[in-house]
């Protein structure tokens, strides 16, 4: 079971995608191939026997090249995916920033979208009413809140999504390259908010390709490659090793 | 870490455990209840979005069945001239059928094309099917307004038996939810289902006595039509309004049994497969 101050725990987690060699999209095709014994799946291990543990208040980073399994790991923690093998335990309210703006509809107004997005994030109507003014304030969209979302710029949409997702401090915050939201000023505001969460004891799970962000923010880092953890340790140590490995590969 | 007052709060935090043992359908039901506000939001969205840009807006939910009724009456009232007040006859069946066909199609579409959701955030998977049926139900309630109008205009007496209507509506909801969930589970594996279902629906429509009375069919075929689960539901919806007759106890019990049983089975299959959805979309 979980230890006292553990927030996220993965025990020997494997995620196995089955990729059909050729896409079989119709019944007829499926039936024919099935009869001929021609359904062959390539197994693809997105994560292979991964174990890790994140304690309360930690900022935990994931690094690794594209396709290493970082996003799959985030999805497991966000409960979007279910492990093929192994066990995932997460304590507390999770705010996945990968769900920023999920369900936004361009024909609805900013106001309507706030309530819809809030419900998707698992908040009740009453909770959203209490949050509403703060969200609008933070997103700096007071004048546009009753205009349909299709009239917003992409930066405005991103600001609204971020504001809804981060209005109240979650127990676990999942961040996937989110810091590229809106303009520089808003990015700074977003970072400040994430830092505040951290001070309040929120556990942060962060994926980034920017080593400077990782080093600035993270306490501990796991380096993922081909679905396996190469190394877990302090941010400085792991990033240094990762960069050396990447350099030697590139040269 | 020191034991502090905040530690107490910490111990009471909800825990998600992928290895959690429990009866999956029950867990899903609990989750649906927790996300009940999302159902309302999704229904509101679907209705608002559908009519937002049109001038007459929600009035179309009422004009649509009326228009259909006018066309079908013009086309078929000569053929079925034995049926008195054909517009009222056809509209009662049509409203119930339209609810079924629209809401099941919407449920399948939401599941099959809603993949974006599933990869980004956890919500109980069945929420989309439930919301689709909910939207259909709101439209059905709107459509009752022109129905009452047509009844009054064509001179069908308004009788107390109309109060029975919520019961067939409930059965209709159960059955639509069952079909919607079953087909959306299939649709995740074979997206072709979405297109195929439209053809099945058309055949099903003609196989159900909506435009015509069941007794014009030869006895041989009538036997088969009575196996169609939609047949007793449509009849139970139509008879109290159109003929002022309540269904027999047998019809009612049999149809309720079929609807509830199919809903249970469909829900069970859906829940068994729902963890697979993120791998597929």
Kindly state whether residue B147 falls inside one of the protein's structural domains: yes
Return phi, psi of residue B72, to 5°: -65, -35
Enter the tokens of residue B206. 């003609």
Tell me, yes or no, if A89 comes closer than 8 A to chain B by beta carbon.
yes
pLDDT one-digit tens code per residue, A224-237: 999 999 999 998 99
| Alpha-carbon gap: B52 to the closest alpha carbon of chain A (Å) | 7
For chain A, domain boundaries: 6-32+39-93+170-250, 109-168
Tell me, yes or no, if B117 comes closer than 8 A to chain A by beta carbon.
yes
Kindly state whether residue B197 falls inside one of the protein's structural domains: yes
Kindly state whether residue B11 falls inside one of the protein's structural domains: no
In this structure, of A98-102, A217-221, A235-239, the range with the lowest mean pLDDT score is: A98-102
Kindly state whether residue B7 falls inside one of the protein's structural domains: no
Smallest Cβ–Cβ distance between B38 and the set A18, A89, A120 belongs to A120
Confidence of residue B5 (pLDDT cuts 50, 70, 90): very low
Whether residue B234 has pLDDT greater than 50: yes
Q: Which value does ipTM take for this structure?
A: 0.81
Q: What is the pTM of this model?
A: 0.85
Residues 182-211 of B with CB under 8 A from A: 190-192
What pLDDT sits at residue B3?
39
CB contact under 8 A, A119 and B275: no
Which residues on chain A are in Cβ contact (under 8 Å) with B279? 17-18, 81
Domain count, chain B: 1
Mean pLDDT of chain A: 86
Kindly state whether residue B16 falls inside one of the protein's structural domains: no
Return phi, psi of residue A81, to 5°: -120, 160
Whether residue A37 has pLDDT greater than 80: no
Write out chain A in H/E/C secondary structure.
CCCCCEEEEEEEEEEEEEEECCCCCCHHHHHHHHHHCCCCEEEEEEEEEEEEEEECCCEEEEECCCCCCHHHHHHHHCCCCCCCEEEEEEECCEEEHHHCCCCCCCCCEHHHHHHHHHHHCCCCHHHHHHHHHHHHHHHCCHHHCCCEHHHCCHHHHHHHHHHHHCCCCCCEEEEECHHHCCCHHHHHHHHHHHHHHHHCCCEEEEECCCHHHHHHHCCEEEEEECCEEEEEEEHHHHHHHHHHHHHHHHC
Which residues on chain A are in Cβ contact (under 8 Å) with B52? 107-108, 148
Q: Which fold has domain A6-32+39-93+170-250?
A: Rossmann fold (3.40.50)
What pLDDT sits at residue A59?
92
pLDDT one-digit tens code per residue, A147-202: 999 999 988 998 899 999 889 888 999 988 756 666 788 888 888 888 899 999 99
Confidence of residue A14 (pLDDT cuts 50, 70, 90): very high
For residue B118, give its domain range: 25-280
Smallest Cβ–Cβ distance between A115 and the set B19, B41, B275 belongs to B41
CB contact under 8 A, B18 and A102: no
């Amino acid at each position: 079971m979980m230890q006292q101050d553990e927030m996220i725990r993965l025990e020997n987690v494997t995620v196995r995608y089955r990729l059909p060699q050729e896409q079989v999209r119709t019944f007829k095709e499926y039936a024919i191939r099935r009869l001929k014994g021609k359904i062959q799946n390539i197994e693809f291990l997105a994560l292979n026997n991964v174990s890790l543990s994140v304690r309360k208040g930690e900022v935990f980073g994931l690094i690794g090249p594209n396709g290493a399994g970082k996003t799959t790991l985030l999805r497991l923690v966000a409960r979007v995916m279910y492990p093929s093998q192994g066990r995932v335990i997460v304590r507390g309210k999770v705010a996945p920033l990968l769900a920023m703006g999920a369900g936004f509809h361009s024909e609805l107004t900013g106001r309507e979208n706030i309530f819809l997005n809030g419900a998707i994030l698992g908040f009740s109507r009453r909770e959203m009413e209490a949050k509403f003014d703060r969200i609008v304030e933070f997103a700096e969209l007071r004048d546009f809140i009753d205009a349909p979302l299709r009239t917003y710029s992409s930066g405005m949409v991103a600001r609204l999504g971020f504001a809804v997702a981060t209005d109240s401090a979650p127990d676990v915050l999942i961040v996937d390259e989110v810091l590229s939201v809106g303009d520089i000023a808003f990015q700074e505001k977003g970072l400040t908010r994430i830092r505040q969460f951290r001070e309040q004891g929120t556990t942060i799970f962060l994926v980034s390709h920017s080593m400077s962000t990782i080093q600035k923010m993270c306490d501990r880092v796991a380096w993922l490659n081909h679905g396996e953890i190469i190394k877990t340790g302090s941010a400085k140590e792991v990033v240094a090793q990762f960069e050396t490995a990447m350099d030697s590969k590139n040269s | 870490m020191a034991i502090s007052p905040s530690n107490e709060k910490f111990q009471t935090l909800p825990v998600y455990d992928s290895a959690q043992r429990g009866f999956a359908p029950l867990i899903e039901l609990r989750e649906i209840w927790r996300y009940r506000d999302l159902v309302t939001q999704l229904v509101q969205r679907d209705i608002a979005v559908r009519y937002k840009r049109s001038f007459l807006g929600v009035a179309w939910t009422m004009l649509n069945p009326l228009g259909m009724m006018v066309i079908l009456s013009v086309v078929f009232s000569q053929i079925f001239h034995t049926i008195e007040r054909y517009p009222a006859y056809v509209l009662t069946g049509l409203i119930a059928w339209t609810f079924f066909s629209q809401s099941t199609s919407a449920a399948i579409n939401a599941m099959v094309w809603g993949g974006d959701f599933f990869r980004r955030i956890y919500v109980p998977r069945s929420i989309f099917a439930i919301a689709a049926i909910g939207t259909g139900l709101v439209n059905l309630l709107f459509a009752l307004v022109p129905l009452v109008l047509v009844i009054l205009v064509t001179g069908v007496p308004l009788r107390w038996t109309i109060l029975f209507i919520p019961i067939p509506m409930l059965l209709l909801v159960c059955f639509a939810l069952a079909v919607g969930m079953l087909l959306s589970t299939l649709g995740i594996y074979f997206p072709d289902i979405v297109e195929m279902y439209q053809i099945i629906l058309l055949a099903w429509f003609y196989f159900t006595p909506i435009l015509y009375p069941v007794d014009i069919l030869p006895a041989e075929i009538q036997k088969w039509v009575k196996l169609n689960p939609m047949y007793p539901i449509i009849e139970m919806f139509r008879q109290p309004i159109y003929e002022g007759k309540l269904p027999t106890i047998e019809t009612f019990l049999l149809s309720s049994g079929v609807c509830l049983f199919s809903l249970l089975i469909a829900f069970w299959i859906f829940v068994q497969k729902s963890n697979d959805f993120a791998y597929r979309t």
